[in-house]
Amino acid sequence: MASFLITGASRGLGLAFVKELASRKSSEVSNIFAGARSNVPALQEHSKTDPRVQFVKLDVTNPDSVKEAAAQVEKKLEGKGLDVLINNAAVCHYDMQKMSNPTLEKDIMREMTGLEEEFQVNVLGVQYTTREFLPLVEKSELKKVVNITSTFGSISSASDPAIAWSPCPAYKITKAALNALTVQYALEYQNKGFSFIALCPGWLKTDLGSQMADLTTEEGAKASLDIILTPGQVYNGKFPMIKVKGWETQEEAASHGGYAGKNVYDGRNIPW
């Protein structure tokens, strides 16, 4: 049985992780700690019907909040370790004026106004959370720390038209920094049996991804867990894309229409 903690669990992919884990047998999943700033109705409903789902008040940008959350989880685990920490909480600010008017001259200064906030959530929030929960993860059997990232954080892919056009440079910068943070942890803890993974869950239909996206959050969560629960340290220090049946080749992806032809979900490792 594995225990999980998911940050940003009140909506989007985080909530989808909670739902997917709750659908699995108790022999596979023991505890599902849903970390979020508030206990939204969707989480309340799951905790009512499944005692494995437990809300944990957690603001990743507040070190004191993270410390209190770690203490709460440690108490509930009753001496056992935390098998999987999923750092999912994130924020992205798009320049909506640029999106509504693609011919508008690019103004990098205007588009970087959210850099401090995004760095606080997307990078420092992951650091605060990892730092506090690491002792609990070290006590577990699986020892997995998963940082949810994006192809937008790939420096090698920055000039790809689909990525370069998107007006969210602060998000791209912070995800690149998150990837670097993941690698540093992976190198430091690989001899202790840890797996630190920079995982791309695909382009999902969320508030961040929009309804134009390729995949549902349910598809993203399930495919992500396939990678997360791969035995051993296969993905330690790696930047994998999820693998989704029917999306593994460009021909299959193109059959879904829209923007899909450019997005293949074949489980490959994304270039840094």
Q: Is 133 contained in some domain?
A: yes
The answer to pTM > 0.85 is: yes
Question: Among residues 64, 22, 67, which one has the least CA distance to residue 43?
Answer: 22
Domains: count for the chain: 1
Per the structure, the complete domain to which residue 257 belongs is given by 2-262
Q: Place 165 in a pLDDT band, splitting at 50, 70 and 90.
A: confident
Q: Is 222 contained in some domain?
A: yes
Separation between Cα atoms, residue 19 and residue 174, nearest integer Å: 28
Q: Place 253 in a pLDDT band, splitting at 50, 70 and 90.
A: confident
Q: Is 34 contained in some domain?
A: yes
Q: Is 270 contained in some domain?
A: no
Give me the mean pLDDT over the 222-246 stretch: 97
Q: How many CA atoms lie within 13 A of 25 on its CB side?
A: 3
List active site positions.
150, 171, 175
Residues 29, 54 contacting (CB under 8 angstroms): no
Q: Is 43 contained in some domain?
A: yes
Per-residue model confidence as pLDDT tens digits over 8-38: 999 999 999 999 999 999 999 999 999 999 9
Contacts of 49 (CB under 8 A, 6+ apart): none
Per-residue confidence (pLDDT) for residue 111, from 0 to 100 = 54
Per-residue model confidence as pLDDT tens digits over 50-74: 999 999 999 999 999 999 999 999 9
Q: Is 188 contained in some domain?
A: yes
Q: Place 95 in a pLDDT band, splitting at 50, 70 and 90.
A: low
Q: Place 86 in a pLDDT band, splitting at 50, 70 and 90.
A: very high
Residue 93 belongs to domain with CATH number = 3.40.50.720
| pLDDT over 70 at 101, yes or no | no
Q: Is 272 contained in some domain?
A: no
Q: Is 267 contained in some domain?
A: no
Residues 58, 132 contacting (CB under 8 angstroms): no
